[in-house]
């Protein structure tokens, strides 16, 4: 299918419309101008004939013995002054007393249009062919003092001369029309170029496709997206943004203030510099915002902001942390079990069967004791999985990980998820393992109970303890007493956040050689959702 460009369409449409209007107006004005000239010439001829017919000199001359001697000089002078083609004065019989050609004087007037003036005494305009050619004539009767018709005055302008005048005037109008057409062509071309520039050279179909694609992309991404113009008026907002900001209905063409924290947006409008990964609170929600300026040439014409609920990001990070913890615990279990198999294989190869049997019985007895507590007293599979992983890790780190024999735990409420439980217990237990690293007899003890209205987890260690002034800072994000090249200070902060999300509390007691973390989680609390 043949496609016509936008520029061609605009040029064709504007030029066609301009040409049609110019032709229409030119034809109309030409007709009106010709008609006006004809009417003016006819009216002038009639007025001249009337004026001459009322002149006393002409009336007296007609009644004299030799009328033409007096009338001819007078009317010829008037003819030259007024530009008339001819002025003929005749008697009641139509005999000429004056004529531009002296040889025609004394002859009958030609044209056959004198009857109304001579017989009826009327004043009128006529068109007839005379001795000089086709002309427009003004006819007036001449009355004497008694009111009798004694003659006639005929003033005429040749039709050919009238047409020449019409042509001259119309030629001027045509010149103006041509100039107007040229201006229309130039204006149309400039308009088409301007529109093409405004649309970045894109055709309407391409713009429509881009608009559809933009809408599809805008509403398909999970992040909230908001765009404003240079005046802070919302130009677009996708559904995830409305859902995150609790907005219903359309907000297009409304000021962004009141719908979204606009501080960073206005900063970007002013500075033309993007704002990346800014954290802000809005209606009890913490969101991560990225603001990018929209440039129109060298000037900022608007801002696009993308934002996401921080809770989702934290959940994703926590999930990655859980996977890492599970992987590490499984690796520790595998490594420790492999070491024991190597030792057992060596004892058998050396013939030390009694020591091999003693080792097997010792491991079996220890496993049976731990399994009795883990599988019979602690009946929640999530806690069981975490403890089994930490037992292997403790064995690898040469830490005695004891599970209190008084521990007892039924299946946990459904609102306490595996991800939250792993985040809380794994971080506290791992911190306890690190706290006892390097001491002579490292011991970490785990206790759990669900007696009463709360589920209680208690992890204690015999490490060096925590300074009193540091206890109040433990759960602040970024705080750490450890050193290393990797970022630290986020584990306990995440633990505190997860405990509070579940409606619980966490307590810390620390002495010189003993630290106890106690977590209280209510049994009947609903999961606390963000927003």
Q: Output the six-digit token pair for 500.
A: 């509070």
Domain contains 207: no
CATH code of 74's domain: 3.30.450.20
pLDDT of 193 reads 79
The pLDDT value recorded for residue 506 is 93
150: phi then psi, degrees, rounded to nearest 5: -115, -5
CA-to-CA separations, 170 to 22, 26, 135, 184, 485, in angstroms, rounded: 13, 8, 21, 21, 93
If one counts the domains in the chain, the total is 3
Residue 109 lies in a domain: yes
> pLDDT at position 486, please?
41
Residue 190 lies in a domain: no
> Helices 310-349 and 353-371 meet at what angle, rounded to 10?
150
Predicted pLDDT of residue 3: 65
The reported pLDDT for the residue numbered 529 is: 40
Q: Are residues 299 and 361 in the same domain?
A: no
**Claim to verify: residue 303 and residue 318 sit in the same structural domain:** no
User: What gap in Å lies between CA 148 and CA 268, rounded to an integer?
Assistant: 101
The pLDDT value given to residue 489: 55
Q: Judge if 377 and 471 occupy the same domain.
A: yes
Strands 400-403, 443-449: pairing is: parallel
Domain limits for position 88? 6-165
Nearest C-alpha neighbor of 224 from the set 211, 243, 210: 243
For residue 334, the model assigns a pLDDT of 64
Q: Residue 200: phi, psi to the nearest 5?
A: 60, 30
Structure tokens belonging to residue 319: 């999930």
Q: Are 379 and 411 within 8 A, CB to CB?
A: yes
Are 464 and 481 found together in one domain?
Answer: yes
> What distance in Å separates the CA atoms of residue 344 and residue 346, rounded to the nearest whole number?
5
| pLDDT < 50 positions in the chain | 1, 483-487, 527-531
């Amino acid at each position: 299918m043949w496609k016509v460009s936008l520029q061609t369409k605009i040029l064709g449409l504007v030029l066609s419309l301009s040409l049609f209007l110019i032709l229409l107006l030119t034809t109309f004005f030409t007709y009106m101008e010709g008609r006006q000239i004809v009417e003016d010439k006819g009216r002038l001829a009639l007025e001249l004939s009337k004026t001459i017919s009322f002149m006393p000199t002409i009336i007296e001359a007609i009644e004299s013995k030799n009328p033409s001697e007096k009338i001819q000089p007078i009317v010829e002078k008037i003819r030259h002054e007024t530009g008339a083609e001819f002025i003929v004065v005749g008697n009641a019989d139509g005999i000429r007393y004056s004529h531009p050609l002296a040889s025609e004087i004394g002859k009958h007037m030609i044209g056959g249009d004198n009857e109304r003036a001579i017989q009826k005494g009327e004043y009128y305009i006529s068109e007839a062919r005379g001795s000089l050619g086709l002309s427009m004539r003004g006819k007036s009767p001449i009355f004497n003092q008694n009111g009798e018709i004694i003659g006639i005055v005929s003033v005429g302008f040749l039709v050919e001369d009238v047409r020449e005048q019409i042509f001259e005037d119309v030629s001027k109008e045509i010149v103006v029309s041509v100039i107007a057409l040229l201006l229309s062509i130039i204006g149309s071309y400039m308009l088409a170029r301007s529109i093409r520039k405004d649309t970045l050279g894109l055709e309407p179909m391409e713009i429509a496709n881009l608009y559809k694609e933009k809408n599809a992309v805008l509403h398909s991404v999970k992040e909230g997206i908001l765009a404003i113009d240079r005046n802070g008026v919302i130009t677009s907002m996708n559904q995830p943004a409305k859902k995150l900001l609790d907005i219903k209905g359309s907000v297009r063409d409304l000021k962004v203030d009141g719908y979204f924290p606009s501080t960073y947006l206005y900063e970007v409008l002013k500075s033309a510099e993007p704002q990346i990964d800014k954290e802000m609170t809005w209606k009890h929600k913490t969101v991560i915002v990225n603001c990018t300026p929209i440039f129109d040439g060298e000037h900022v014409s608007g801002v696009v902001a993308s934002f996401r609920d921080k809770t989702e990001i934290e959940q994703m990070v926590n999930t990655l942390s859980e996977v890492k913890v599970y992987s590490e615990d499984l690796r520790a279990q595998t490594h420790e079990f492999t070491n024991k198999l190597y030792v057992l294989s060596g004892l058998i190869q050396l013939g030390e069967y009694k020591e091999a049997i003693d080792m097997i019985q010792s491991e079996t007895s220890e496993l049976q004791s731990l399994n009795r507590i883990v599988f019979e007293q602690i009946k929640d599979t999530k806690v069981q999985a975490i403890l089994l992983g930490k037992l292997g890790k403790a064995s690898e780190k040469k830490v005695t990980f004891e599970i209190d024999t008084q521990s007892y735990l039924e299946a946990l409420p459904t609102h306490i998820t595996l991800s939250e439980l792993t985040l809380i217990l794994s971080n506290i237990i791992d911190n306890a393992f690190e706290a006892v690293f390097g001491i002579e007899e490292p011991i970490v003890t785990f206790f759990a109970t669900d007696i009463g209205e709360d589920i209680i987890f208690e992890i204690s260690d015999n490490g060096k303890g925590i300074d009193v002034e540091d206890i109040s800072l433990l759960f602040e994000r970024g705080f750490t007493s450890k050193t290393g090249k990797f970022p630290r200070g986020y584990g306990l902060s995440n633990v505190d956040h997860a405990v509070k999300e579940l409606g619980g509390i966490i307590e810390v007691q620390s002495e010189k050689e003993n630290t106890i973390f106690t977590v209280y989680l209510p049994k009947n609390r609903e999961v606390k959702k963000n927003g």
